[in-house]
Structure 1
Amino acid sequence: MASVDAQVSSRITATRLVTIGVFALAAKKKTGAVYLSIENPDVASVIECSQEDNTKAREFAVKITNAGKAAAAIEARLPDLILSAEQAVTTAVSDTAAIDAAQAELSRVEADPLLVGPIETAQVALTAAESKLKDLTAAAA
């Protein structure tokens, strides 16, 4: 929370009273000051600002107040957001159906002799081709 207060104080000194008599009551000396007050549950602070900075101080106070309201709204929603996130994590961790299906498919492919034979033949051919490519590259260099 933040606010700006303009305080005008009037002061009648004894010297002024003696100098101008009862007219001192009508000729009050006025001094203006602008105070920016910032508060939260843990800290409170007051800063004196010049009259020229009155508008800037008020704009700053509005920004702080709006940020405080937004933070309070987020804080109010935080328990629900945390619960929702925890539930999503629990669901994701416990949902292993896709992983289980992929592992079962891998096991089936690895155990199928009709698939393993061509794969091994292709690996031998690939190794031979890589060796031949290495020899050709070395010869060309």
Structure 2
Amino acid sequence: MTEDGHVASFRAADAYAVEVVRAAQRIGTGRDATLLRELRRSALRCGGALVAASVAHPTSVTAKASLEAARGALAEGGYYLYLARRFGLLDARGYRALRVRQEAALKELTGLLDRSSSSVEAPEP
């Protein structure tokens, strides 16, 4: 895993997380608070997992597991976005904007995982 790959992945995930939090603030706290909280949490979990991956040894199992956790959190966030759209919390434009950010972050993470998969060390017994 390269530092550049981590930076690009973090920036893409960070842009997504910032937009998710802003969208949740615009929607307000009174409407479907649980869904909005889970949407925010999934975005923030992604960022946290990326930070964990960046401090682990680049070829470690821990780094790969953290990257996979970040990708999982992003994918989960996609479902929350879908639900927010279905429940009328996001209009079509807002939904598309968030999906574009999410897809960019997923693309960066998937590329980083693909590049790192051949260099991951075997776990110690």
TM-score, structure 1 normalization:
0.25
Is the radius of gyration larger for structure 1 or structure 2? 1
Higher helix share: 2
Using the size of structure 2 for normalisation, the TM-score is 0.27
Q: Per chain length, whose mean CA-contact separation is higher, i.e. which structure has more relative contact order (CA < 8 Å, sep 6+)? A: 2
